[in-house]
Amino acid sequence: MGKENKEVIFREFAEKAKKRIEEKKRFKTKQVYVEAADVTLTLHGLTEEEISECMEMYDSALENDKYTIYLACEELQKSSAILVEEGAMKENERYKITEMFDLADRSALAKEVLALSGIGGESSVREVEEVKN
């Protein structure tokens, strides 16, 4: 394979990479209804940095789930701001608005956020025949 052919291949690869990176920047969103709380939430996917922050924020997986849900939901963020303003909640505990949901619902919501973020999906990686150099 000549130098020019390799250059074309690498340029095509770079173009695909650029396109995929741009696609991943657009968050997937989904509305869900939580029957026990009688609320509809709009959840969006999180960036890799946000997911990392969520997983490292607290020592407890339950607290991490609460923060993940909070970070992915504008309704919860805006509502918790009102509770802080009213003095019903501390500023540094705004994410605890998610305690309005029972454990099973919080677990399902956190899983939904991670799915919207691209975690846990099917991998597209597959083996190819031996590569010749």
Amino acid at the residue 117: S
Contact 97, 76 (CB under 8 A): yes
CATH architecture of 27-116: 2-Layer Sandwich (3.30)
pLDDT number for residue 131: 64
**Separation of alpha carbons 2 and 29, rounded Å:** 45
pLDDT number for residue 4: 77
**Separation of alpha carbons 126 and 77, rounded Å:** 40
**Separation of alpha carbons 109 and 104, rounded Å:** 9
pLDDT number for residue 122: 76
Backbone angles phi, psi at 107, to 5 degrees: -60, -45
Domains of the chain, residue spans:
27-116
pLDDT number for residue 133: 59
pLDDT number for residue 25: 60
SS3 93: helix
Residue 26: CA count within 13 A, CB half-sphere: 4
Q: State which residues of the chain have pLDDT below 70.
A: 1, 23-26, 131-133
**Separation of alpha carbons 64 and 51, rounded Å:** 10
